[in-house]
Amino acid sequence: MYKDVTYKKADTAEQKLDIYLPENSMTIHPVVIYAHGGGWNKGDKAFRDGHYLNDFVLKLVQDGYAIVSINYTLLDENTHFPKPVEDCKEAVRWIRANASKYNFDRDNIGIWGASAGAQIGLIAANSAENEFSENTALPGYSSKVNYFVDFFGPTDLNQLFRTQEAGFKIFIFKLILPKIYKMRNDMIFGITSADIKKQEEKAIDQLKIFSPVTYINQNSVPTLIIHGTKDKVVPYSQSELLKEALDKNGVVNELVPIDKGNHGLNEDAGHEIMLQKMLEFIKRNTH
């Protein structure tokens, strides 16, 4: 295990990652990049003790995969998209640039993202090579990946934040749930740098740019989607929208509904089926 390895230096900030490698093996390892959740403004690459994701990581490592868990730029009032997407693409390039040092298989790299990390990773995985790449320090390395594993990620941000709802509905929303209304507006500002109340058109345009469904096309990567049907933070319908876009473009995909699963799927909501589906999918897409 290698902790807090710097993969990107920008201004005064450094972005770091943790590497988990199979024991006693000098063969090259296919790589699974993990991008954590946290609502874009919090979260960390470390896997919490006792959390079910630890079991998933352990199983993947036992099966010969290298896990690379990344931090990325968190949003605040002065920091906005596309920085997290740029970070994710740079992590892929860094893995290729350091393949010989860590025995990474540079031809077998996939991304696994949870919640906000899934939204970031889906854009990184499906956007063109030259998009979100202006600031790369590793231009000689590709940021393309083989597949994506999406755990309950947002896919259409305008739908998620209901930016095009009728004014009366938004007024009622503000009246009944003022704290959630403010949180929603703060999230939109964090992502877009636009005030939805004063710069509605700009906010809507930017949210489209940072919606994964915008980047789905016939060249998109095979995608496994896992989502709880009772998710109140990122509705299950967000994954249905992604599946619809993938199907329309003829991209291999599977949507696995976790019955009555909440956001995060932290309760024992189908963890065994999640792990089984994930392992099968990753093996199918590792060459």
- The string of pLDDT tens digits covering residues 170-218 is 545 555 556 666 788 889 999 999 998 899 999 999 999 999 999 999 9
Closest alpha carbon to 68 in 106, 42, 40: 106
Determine the distance from the C-alpha atom of residue 82 to the mean position of all C-alpha atoms in its chain, rounded to a whole number: 13
Please state, rounded to an integer, the average pLDDT across all residues of the chain: 93
Q: What is the DSSP string of the chain?
A: -EEEEEEEEETTEEEEEEEE--TT--S-EEEEEEE--STTTS--SSPPTT-HHHHHHHHHHHTT-EEEEE--PPPBTTB-TTHHHHHHHHHHHHHHHTHHHHTEEEEEEEEEEETHHHHHHHHHHHS-TTTT-TT-S-TTS----S-EEEES----HHHHHTTTS-HHHHHHHHHH-HHHHHHHHHHHHHHHS--TTT-HHHHHHHHHHT-GGGG--TTPPPEEEEEETT-SSS-THHHHHHHHHHHHTT--EEEEEETT--TT--SSSSHHHHHHHHHHHHHHT--
Average pLDDT over residues 24-50: 93
Are the C-beta atoms of residues 88 and 131 closer than 8 Å to each other?
no
- Count CB-CB contacts under 10 A for residue 120: 32
Average pLDDT over residues 147-155: 98
Q: What is the mean pLDDT of residues 4-12?
A: 89
What local confidence, expressed as pLDDT, does residue 267 receive?
78
Q: Among 161-165, 166-170, 194-198, which is the least confidently predicted range?
A: 166-170
Question: Residue 265: what residue type?
Answer: L
Q: Which domains does the chain have, with CATH numbers?
A: 2-156+211-284 (3.40.50.1820), 158-210 (no CATH)
The answer, yes or no, to whether residue 127 has pLDDT greater than 80, is yes
- Averaged pLDDT, 218-222: 98
Report yes or no: 148 and 67 within 8 Å, Cβ to Cβ.
no
pLDDT of residue 1: 94
Mean pLDDT of 59-87: 96
Residue 50 pLDDT exceeds 60:
yes
Per-residue confidence (pLDDT) for residue 174, from 0 to 100 = 52
Cβ burial, residue 259 (10 Å; 0-12/13-18/19+): exposed
pLDDT score at 168: 45
Q: Render pLDDT for 170-183 as a digit per residue (tens, 0 to 9).
A: 545 555 556 666 78
Is-above-0.85 flag for pTM? Answer: yes
Do residues 5 and 19 lie in contact, with contact meaning Cβ atoms separated by under 8 Å? yes
